[in-house]
Amino acid sequence: MDLAVGERLRAASSRRDVQALKSAYELIKSASQGKSPLDSLDNFSTDLYVLCAEQAFELGYVEISRDCLQMYFEGRFPVNQFLGRAYLCQGQLHTPLSTDNLAKFSCN
């Protein structure tokens, strides 16, 4: 499972391939729901949630990014670089799009 998702995410990154991103997301989503025929969630790397969220954000697919982060934070995740990257990606999702909206950006 990790290999299949990783290949799709690499294609999404190197070629800006939206279909590869969506395919990786569907595999991740099915694994998180226990519906994946490829592998069980026990053998699924939580790092892939963050990698998918980052790539989705970069390609402008904010909802996919949010969903991947939500799945990541709902599960058990190791304290490693991907935890920091998940928080960074989450922060980017909440950053205002322009300086005209700075009043909307608060730490409440």
Q: Which long-range contacts (CB under 8 A, 24 or more apart) does 18-25 make?
A: 18/59, 18/61, 21/52, 21/55, 21/56, 21/59, 21/61, 21/64, 22/64, 24/48, 24/52, 24/55, 25/52, 25/56, 25/64, 25/67, 25/68
Segment 31-35 mean pLDDT? 79
Per-residue pLDDT band for 36 (boundaries 50, 70, 90) equals low
User: Bigger pLDDT: 103 or 23?
Assistant: 23
How many beta carbons lie within 10 A of that of residue 51, not counting itself? 22
pLDDT at 56 over 80: yes
Mean pLDDT (the chain, rounded): 87
Q: Is the pTM of this model over 0.85?
A: no
